[in-house]
Amino acid sequence: MDINLLVNLTSKAWSLNILAHLHSGVPGRQATLLAATSASRTSFVASLDHLLQLGLLERNPGHGHPLRPEFRLTMQGCAIAEAASKIIEVVPDDKEFALLRRSWTVPILAVTATPKRFSTIKSDLGKITDRALSKSLYDLEKRAWLKREINVSGRTPFPIYRVSNAGGEVNRVIALCA
């Protein structure tokens, strides 16, 4: 899966969850999806609009009410929804799933299959700030989804990061879906 698409897709908290529910057969009505995701209404609507703008969802013509439309996956959305479903299956625990909803978690896990330095991760992700990357790496390390090791082979020691545990599982799913 393209890293830019992952960054764009995960910029809204509930995007992966909405796609996974639609892939699993949850009806595309807004109320049904909202109940299935257990998201707040504002956050859910923002994620739904985002998916519509990305072209992964569309209104289902002839179904639903103009004020309560029904949605369906587009052709591109079907492939990405399958990947989203597989990513979410790896992390069934609600507490761990909260980490998966954060904007930079999935893109960081996608690029750290091999050990990488902070600067390399940042350049791979493009538009991430130092603060956002540092916070995300810390959170992933705290949950043991990422392992931080100090490389002392050179003149100056430096940390390197690589996926581990559940982070490794998410990384493998992303690699299979690429």
109-120 pLDDT tens trace:
999 989 999 999
Report if residue 134 sits inside a domain.
yes
Residues 30, 78 share a domain: yes
> Strand pairing partners for 65?
68
For the ranges 95-99, 123-127, 138-142, 145-149, the lowest mean pLDDT is seen at 95-99
Span 18-63, pLDDT tens digits: 999 999 988 888 888 888 888 899 999 999 999 999 999 998 877 7
Residue 110 placed within a domain: yes
Same domain, 78 and 120: no
d(CA 159, CA 150): 4
CB under 8 Å to 60, separation ≥6 — which residues?
28, 69, 70, 71, 72
Separation of alpha carbons 137 and 148, rounded Å: 9
Q: How many domains does the chain have?
A: 2
Q: Is the pLDDT of residue 130 over 70?
A: yes
59 & 126 share domain: no
Identify the pLDDT of residue 120. 94
Same domain? 110 vs 81: no
Are both 113 and 158 inside the same structural domain? yes
* Containing structural domain, residue 70: 3-90
Q: Are residues 81 and 147 in the same domain?
A: no
How confident is residue 67, by pLDDT bands cut at 50, 70 and 90?
low
Residue 68 sits in the same domain as residue 143 = no
Give the distance, in angstroms, between the CA of residue 53 and the centroid of all CA atoms in the same chain: 17
Q: Are residues 73 and 44 in the same domain?
A: yes
Instruction: Give the model's pLDDT for residue 50.
Output: 93
Tell me which of 27, 60, 90 is where a domain ends.
90
Residues 85 and 109 both lie in one domain: no
Domain check: are 78 and 114 in the same one? no
| pLDDT bucket at 66, cuts 50 / 70 / 90 | low
